[in-house]
Amino acid sequence: MRVVDTSAWIEWLIASPTGKALKKYFPPQSELIVPTIVQLELAKWITREMGEDQADQMIAYSQHCFVVPLDTRIALLAAELGAKHKLATADSIVYATALSHEADLLTCDAHFEGLDGIKLIKK
């Protein structure tokens, strides 16, 4: 199972050079965990950059994956990870979701470098 961070989704969606490198690491929907915070970030970014119809299509796609809402267990783990690794709130939630589901995290964000379970594709 794999969680894909918002940064990786965006690079993949815009087909940047980084996005093209990420493509081979994107799992099939049946193996893709999508935290609800990633749905929020994607909906916000895609609506702003590409339009509401594209955002709706992306959310529809993500709903065929394993969507994980933020619950108390993940929130508390995120708080711990955020403090320990100096991660922003959304990043700590995404990372906590991956760890709590024994999944790795595909990302382009360098601030995850060196953490356990990270597949980092640098920009």
For the chain, helix (H) and strand (E) counts, in that order, are 6, 5
* Token code pair at residue 35: 């935290």
Tens digits of per-residue pLDDT, 58-92? 999 999 999 999 999 999 999 999 999 999 999 99
pLDDT in tens, 21-42: 999 999 999 999 999 999 999 9
State how far the Cα of 123 lies from the Cα of 120, in Å rounded to an integer. Answer: 9
pLDDT in tens, 86-120: 999 999 999 999 999 999 999 999 999 999 999 99
Strand, coil or helix: 75: helix
